[in-house]
């Protein structure tokens, strides 16, 4: 089929979206009203899951609700084409606190000028609606496009997706798809859509050192071993002053294919974006004076190790005089594709033991590997071309996001190549008060999914 068919489906779909846009704002309003905060327990998420399940069923989706031990996940399927696209989202949201910094009720969608404001509009309810809208717009063409669309909408992403692996492994055959779309994507200040082709993994450790039975009056400080000093000393063994991690083998095992892909992709990333971040944070320079392509290489081509938290003794206002009994540090490590977090945990533990830290407790708060998709995958090409058309600019394709997400469950466990799409923008205030999206990005986000799906069809070609 030729260009005219592509244009015909595109124009009809876009026209459908314009005509029905108010319905999708209304659907987003409904979704935002559910207090589906996973960390608040199962009531809010359960009600939201039931509502969403009805929303999909009423459109003709075949829906089932799956339990992996935590929040339910919704599996919905529509179309019977030979090429399958798996669309991943989550209906749970971050807690709204601090409430006093919101200018409106976080669970009531506020439309103000060109902004839609409320908890979850960017992360991730706005994207759920955008994808439902895209499928609605294409519904009468699904057969022609020879597509089958699957929705996997989980309910505990914001607490680290602890049972998503169970759901995916229990339904591995259902997950099997030719391509997939990950939860989010953001429009940068330069107007380009950012598409990360993967996410780093995570190994979140808390290392605790207990030296005595209780805190003791610091009059005895000359005699009582203080764990704060030992934790401090330990940190100096983990990284050198240039930011290099000193744990032997820490940088090993990164997939060479990923390095080659990443090295190529970051040539096309404008390092000026990082300069803007640096300025906003009030920094004279980055770690080790990194800049330009070197900063990008550090960010996207190396695993990282960071102190997220450090504590010992009295940390409140003013003074209290004690020798603390306990000191602890929270460390997040982000492995790259190829690296196994279990192995990093092992070499880390071994290194600490060799340094003489025998009496420490290591708590693993979270652990999963990285996952990524190669840029020449069909679904990636489809989304890049769609983005170029919708946003009028070639997207910013990242080899991997700087953050972590258990995308490996789709890319590695279920074997689905994944791309990005999303309704958010650089100032969406994700996880923060006054989370918002721009009306225009909401529309463009729907259109981008529509074109990605058309582009992905084997039956239609743009040229």
* Among 105-113, 178-186, 401-409, 444-452, the segment contacting a copy of itself (CB under 8 A): 401-409
DSSP state of 336: P
Candidates 145, 254, 239; CA nearest to 198 is 254
Q: Which string of x and - marks every residue 20-39 that binds a copy of itself (by CB under 8 A)?
A: --------------------
- In angstroms, give the least distance from the CB of 334 to a copy of itself: 7
Kindly give, in sequence order, each residue whose CB lies less than 8 Å from that of residue 175, ignoring residues fewer than 6 positions away: 86, 150, 152, 168, 410, 414, 416
Judged by CB, which is closer to a copy of itself: 274, or 362? 274
DSSP state of 141: G
Judged by CB, which is closer to a copy of itself: 4, or 223? 223
Give the Å distances, CA to CA, from 119 to 39, 42, 73, 103, 419.
14, 18, 20, 12, 24
246 binds a copy of itself (CB under 8 A): no
Judged by CB, which is closer to a copy of itself: 323, or 382? 323
Q: Please give the residues from 36 up to 65 whose contact with a copy of itself meets the rule CB under 8 A.
A: none
* Among 5-13, 29-37, 139-147, 270-278, the segment contacting a copy of itself (CB under 8 A): 270-278
Using CB under 8 A, which of 224, 266, 410, 451 touches a copy of itself?
224
413 binds a copy of itself (CB under 8 A): no
247 binds a copy of itself (CB under 8 A): no
Would you give the end-to-end CA distance of the chain in angstroms?
Answer: 9
Judged by CB, which is closer to a copy of itself: 2, or 289? 289
Q: Left (φ > 0), alpha (ψ -120 to 50) or beta: where does 174 sit?
A: alpha
- In angstroms, give the least distance from the CB of 305 to a copy of itself: 8
- In angstroms, give the least distance from the CB of 316 to a copy of itself: 8
- In angstroms, give the least distance from the CB of 125 to a copy of itself: 21
Q: Are 90 and 157 in contact (CB under 8 A)?
A: yes
- In angstroms, give the least distance from the CB of 348 to a copy of itself: 16
- In angstroms, give the least distance from the CB of 207 to a copy of itself: 12
- In angstroms, give the least distance from the CB of 161 to a copy of itself: 13
Candidates 212, 207, 144, 146; CA nearest to 178 is 146
Judged by CB, which is closer to a copy of itself: 42, or 299? 299
Q: Please give the Cα distance from 166 to 180 (Å, whole number).
A: 19
349 binds a copy of itself (CB under 8 A): no
83 binds a copy of itself (CB under 8 A): no
Q: Please give the Cα distance from 449 to 386 (Å, whole number).
A: 8
Kindly give, in sequence order, each residue whose CB lies less than 8 Å from that of residue 90, ignoring residues fewer than 6 positions away: 124, 153, 154, 155, 156, 157, 158, 161, 183
Give the number of C-alpha atoms closer than 13 A to the C-alpha of residue 442, restricted to the C-beta side: 30
Q: Please give the Cα distance from 113 to 440 (Å, whole number).
A: 11
Q: Please give the residues from 162 up to 221 whose contact with a copy of itself meets the rule CB under 8 A.
A: 200, 202, 204, 206, 211-214, 216-221
Give the Å distances, CA to CA, from 46 to 27, 34, 52.
18, 10, 10
Judged by CB, which is closer to a copy of itself: 12, or 278? 278
Candidates 95, 99, 111, 101; CA nearest to 22 is 111
Judged by CB, which is closer to a copy of itself: 132, or 329? 329
Using CB under 8 A, which of 117, 142, 167, 231 touches a copy of itself?
231
- In angstroms, give the least distance from the CB of 427 to a copy of itself: 15
Omega before 36 within 30 of 0, i.e. cis? no
- In angstroms, give the least distance from the CB of 457 to a copy of itself: 34
Place of tokens 């992905």: 456
- In angstroms, give the least distance from the CB of 401 to a copy of itself: 7
Omega before 124 within 30 of 0, i.e. cis? yes
Q: Please give the residues from 273 up to 332 whose contact with a copy of itself meets the rule CB under 8 A.
A: 274, 277-278, 280-283, 286-287, 290, 295, 298-299, 302, 304-316, 318-324, 327, 329-330, 332
Judged by CB, which is closer to a copy of itself: 330, or 381? 330
Judged by CB, which is closer to a copy of itself: 69, or 415? 69
Place of tokens 């972590």: 404
For 422, the 3-state DSSP assignment is coil
Judged by CB, which is closer to a copy of itself: 269, or 329? 329
């Amino acid at each position: 089929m030729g260009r005219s068919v592509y244009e015909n489906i595109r124009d009809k779909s876009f026209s459908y979206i314009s005509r029905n846009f108010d319905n999708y704002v209304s659907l987003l309003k409904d979704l935002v009203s559910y207090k589906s905060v996973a960390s608040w327990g199962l009531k809010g998420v359960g009600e939201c899951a039931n509502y969403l399940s009805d929303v999909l069923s009423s459109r003709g989706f075949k829906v089932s609700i799956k339990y992996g031990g935590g929040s339910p996940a919704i599996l919905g399927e529509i179309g019977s084409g030979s090429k399958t696209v798996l669309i991943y989202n989550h209906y749970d949201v971050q807690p709204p606190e601090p409430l006093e910094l919101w200018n409106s009720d976080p669970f009531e969608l506020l439309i103000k000028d060109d902004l839609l404001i409320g908890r979850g509009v960017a992360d991730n309810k706005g994207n759920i609606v955008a994808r439902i809208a895209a499928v609605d717009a294409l519904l009468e063409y699904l057969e022609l496009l020879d597509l089958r669309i699957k929705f996997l909408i989980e309910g505990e992403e914001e607490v680290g997706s602890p049972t998503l692996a169970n759901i995916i492994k229990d339904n591995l055959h259902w997950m099997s798809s030719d391509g997939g779309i990950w939860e989010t994507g953001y429009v940068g200040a330069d107007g380009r859509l950012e598409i990360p082709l993967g996410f780093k993994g995570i190994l979140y450790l808390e290392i605790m050192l207990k030296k005595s039975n209780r805190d003791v009056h610091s009059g005895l400080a000359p005699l009582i071993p203080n764990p704060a000093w030992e934790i401090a000393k330990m940190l100096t063994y983990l990284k050198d002053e240039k930011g290099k991690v000193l744990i032997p083998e820490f940088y090993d095992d990164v997939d060479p294919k990923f390095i080659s892909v990443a090295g190529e992709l970051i040539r096309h990333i404008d390092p000026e974006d990082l300069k803007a971040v640096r300025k906003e944070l009030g920094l004279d320079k980055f770690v080790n004076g990194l800049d330009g392509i070197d900063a990008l290489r550090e960010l996207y081509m190396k695993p990282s190790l960071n102190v997220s938290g450090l504590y010992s003794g009295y940390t409140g206002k003013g003074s209290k005089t004690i020798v603390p009994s306990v000191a602890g540090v929270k460390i997040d490590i982000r492995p790259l594709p190829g690296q196994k977090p279990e192995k990093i945990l092992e070499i880390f533990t071994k290194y600490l033991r060799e340094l003489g830290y025998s009496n420490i407790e290591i708590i693993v708060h979270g652990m999963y590997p990285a996952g990524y998709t190669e840029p020449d995958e069909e679904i990636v090409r489809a989304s890049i071309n769609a983005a170029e058309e919708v946003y009028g600019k070639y997207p910013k394709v990242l080899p991997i996001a700087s953050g972590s997400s258990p995308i490996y469950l789709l890319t590695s466990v279920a074997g689905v190549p994944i791309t990005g799409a999303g309704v958010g923008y650089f100032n969406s205030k994700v996880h923060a008060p006054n989370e918002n999206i721009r009306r225009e990005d909401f529309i463009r986000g729907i259109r981008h999914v529509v074109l990605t799906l058309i582009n992905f069809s084997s039956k239609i070609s743009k040229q």
